[in-house]
Amino acid sequence: QVQLVESGGGLVQPGGSLRLSCAASASIFGTSVMAWYRQAPGKERELVAAITSGGRPNYADSVKGRFTISRDNGKKIVFLQMDSLKPEDTAVYYCNLKPAYLRGDYWGQGTLVTVSS
């Protein structure tokens, strides 16, 4: 079984920073692609950032240069460092695990990030 537990969300002012964490209870973590998605009310879920098992990242254009995704395969944790936050970054952020050799994805419960004055 795979369990993903997220933390680090909250309220921050525009221009501020937050760091999200996702702790995985999964033996397949080290061979899986990890990603962060976000969804605002009334909008479709969108990919924010992803990172391969070897640590190669990619980002949505909207967050490139502001967000950094990283992972610790020993501790089975994936991070999302968010800097220079904007009001349009407000959303529920979800951690995602995609196994390398198994069909289907696994999701965390989501953590709310609110960027407002």
**Residue-level pLDDT, tens digit, the chain, 117 residues:** 799 999 999 999 999 999 999 999 989 999 999 999 999 989 999 999 999 999 999 999 999 999 999 999 999 999 999 999 999 999 999 999 999 988 889 999 999 999 999
What's residue 103's pLDDT? 87
What's residue 23's pLDDT? 97
CA neighbor of 63 nearest in space, from 49, 51, 50: 49
DSSP string, 8-71: --EEE-TT--EEEEEEEE-TTGGGSEEEEEEE-TTS--EEEEEE-TT--EEE-TTTTTTEEEEE
**Whole-angstrom distance, CA of residue 13 vs CA of residue 107:** 27
